[in-house]
Amino acid sequence: MLPYFAASGHNLYTKSAYVYLQNMACLEDDHPDVYHSFLEGHHVIRRSNRYWAGLSTDLIIEQVLMRSVKSRGGLTRGRGMTGIQRLVWLLSMPACAQVNNAMQTLTGVRYESSEQHKEMGKARQKRDIKDTHKLLDALKQWDPFAPDTSLRGLINGITANESVNADKAHQVGQSILESMIGENTQEYSFKRKSQAVTLG
pLDDT of residue 192: 42
Nearest to 192 by CA among 1, 2, 11, 21: 11
Distances in Å between the alpha carbon of 134 and those of 13, 119, 130, 140?
33, 19, 6, 10
Report residue 180 CA to chain centroid gap. 25
93, part of any domain: yes
182, part of any domain: no
pLDDT of residue 191: 45
183, part of any domain: no
Report residue 185 CA to chain centroid gap. 24
Torsion of CA 30, 32, 33, 38, to 10 degrees: 100
39, part of any domain: no
pLDDT of residue 194: 43
Name the stretches of the chain with pLDDT < 70: 73, 77-80, 111-119, 184-200
74, part of any domain: yes
pLDDT of residue 190: 46
pLDDT of residue 3: 93
pLDDT of residue 26: 93
134, part of any domain: no
Instruction: Provide the 3-class DSSP secondary structure of residue 159.
Output: strand
Range of the domain at 85: 65-106
DSSP class per residue in 49-76: SSTT-EE-HHHHIIIIIIHHHHSTTSII
Count of the separate structural domains present in the chain:
1
pLDDT of residue 182: 77
Task: Identify residue 79 by its one-letter amino acid code.
Answer: R
pLDDT of residue 29: 94
